[in-house]
Amino acid sequence: MKKLALLAIAAFAVSTAPAMADHHEGGDHKGHGEKMFMKMDVNNDGVVSREEFVNHAGMRFDKMDADNNGDISMEEAEAAKKDMRKRMKDMKEKMEMSE
């Protein structure tokens, strides 16, 4: 259980890190944390329960575990981080283009 909690925190850190990094670049960064929160708040009761948090982290874990062997290797973690950065960048570019 302790391991799972640590993974949940790690997954959360990975998911929020790019948003924080973007913070200094200016542009449209508002609402990202809120969106993230709403995504995690599956039953929309305004709070993220432990279960919702762990579920979300679990989904993230499954996504990161590219070869589905039940472990996230350093490579998989790095790949997920890079993938996340790329997606954030794509999203940002799309948003800027649509303006």
Contacts with Ca ion, residue ranges (CB under 5 A): 41, 43, 45, 65, 67, 69, 71
Cα separation, 9 vs 2, whole angstroms: 11
Our CB check for Ca ion shows the closer of 19 and 79 to be 79
Our CB check for Ca ion shows the closer of 22 and 76 to be 76
Tokens of 42: 């599956």
Cα separation, 50 vs 55, whole angstroms: 8
Cα separation, 79 vs 67, whole angstroms: 12
Our CB check for Ca ion shows the closer of 69 and 98 to be 69
Closest approach of Ca ion to the CB of residue 76, in Å:
5
